[in-house]
Structure 1
């Protein structure tokens, strides 16, 4: 694709993030799609793996936002797209740690949206259940094709949406927030 240059990056390493930002001074769109799913219970799961999940999904995303927000401002505002999850809005057995990290990433997205509005940066959160990627390869469930997900996300971005709910699981999860807390299993 013309104008696209792959950059090796570890979003949990501040030096790697800074190096990527230094290479990408012409950026107008940042897509935060890096993430991990450790799938741990909170009450008895390995706390180091839970921390690694939060470090990547929350603080890694924040590091990218902090590194690229000034570049986006210099380039006219641009946009940040954070790939979230239906799990931003519910926990399910055996994977509460992932839900905690995605709920935090959702609120990070909401906070950054308010903070960067004055510089003209559109901040978008995209919620989705399952996309057919390496992250979900071991799961035997229905999954959205990646191209379909990208099309939904880009259409929403083009239309100026600040929150994109890409699939039925995400729509159900968001709607369930209006009711009392309950166990929601996909």
Structure 2
């Protein structure tokens, strides 16, 4: 897929990785970029069409799909994290993360698949995580949601292929965003995430693994988990 001349829609565009997707799409010559957010007044990138969107609200999703009927590339970036403990914290926090990362992402994909197909085909990017493949203390609810979104991405890829729509799963570790402000380890630049993903879109990559952390987490799946999880339980 050629980004130049495409019409893209990015969820969660007001900050972080979503904002970087928007700016990178414009720099690559996208004909139009819809920048969506629950608080659209916070989108500050010039040259885009701003739309309000809550991906957990079906009416909001439907309204955006009707408004943005020329989309050929969808970037499902919107996300949250509650850092909830599975055994003790409020289950509503876990449900909200699943509603966002799984059901919200699926709602967007279901709404825009026929749009993209009508427009001659295109692509969808699901922003996932290294936490699709492991968990550490305090990450339980987010890791569950991203793991579910990972295999949902795999399943959707099979259903979208006959429609001429590619599906990319994008994995990264910690990024230098507001969501990861309290994390003190190494962080990847959100601009590098957007560039790597869109490079993958242009070569029809099914999966893009941005950093070494994510690559190591994926590789660890083939080994005995005892060694990997010892670092968290020692």
Richer in strand (by share) = 2
Confirm whether residue 97 of structure 1 aligns to residue 141 of structure 2. yes
* Secondary structure, counterpart of 1:79 in structure 2: strand
CA 1:134–1:120 in structure 2 vs 1: closer, same or farther (change >3 Å)?
same
Give, in angstroms, the shift of residue 72 of structure 1.
Answer: 0.8
Which of 100, 108, 116 in structure 2 is aligned with 1:56?
100
TM-score (norm: length of structure 1): 0.95
Counterpart residue number, 1:139:
183
CA RMSD of aligned residues (A): 1.4
Confirm whether residue 24 of structure 1 aligns to residue 76 of structure 2. no
Which of 172, 175, 179 in structure 2 is aligned with 1:128?
172
Give, in angstroms, the shift of residue 3 of structure 1.
Answer: 1.9
Confirm whether residue 164 of structure 1 aligns to residue 208 of structure 2. yes
Moved more, 16-25 or 39-48: 39-48
| Deviation sequence 1:63-110 (CA, Å, 0-9, x none) | 100110000110111100000000000011111111000000001100
Counterpart residue number, 2:123:
79
Confirm whether residue 3 of structure 1 aligns to residue 32 of structure 2. yes
Provide the rounded CA distance (Å) in 1 between the counterparts of 2:66 and 2:50: 14
Confirm whether residue 148 of structure 1 aligns to residue 192 of structure 2. yes
* Secondary structure, counterpart of 1:115 in structure 2: helix
Moved more, 130-139 or 63-72: 130-139
Give, in angstroms, the shift of residue 180 of structure 1.
Answer: 2.1
| Deviation sequence 1:99-139 (CA, Å, 0-9, x none) | 00000000110010001111010000000001111211222
| Deviation sequence 1:165-185 (CA, Å, 0-9, x none) | 000110000000101233176
Confirm whether residue 43 of structure 1 aligns to residue 72 of structure 2. no
Counterpart residue number, 2:152:
108
Confirm whether residue 66 of structure 1 aligns to residue 110 of structure 2. yes
| Deviation sequence 1:21-56 (CA, Å, 0-9, x none) | 011110000000001111112122210111101110
* Secondary structure, counterpart of 2:147 in structure 1: helix
In structure 2, runs of 5+ residues without a counterpart are 1-25, 34-48
Give the 4+ runs in structure 1 shifted more than 3 A: none
In structure 1, runs of 5+ residues without a counterpart are none
TM-score (norm: length of structure 2): 0.76
Maintained 8 Å contact 1:84/1:126: yes
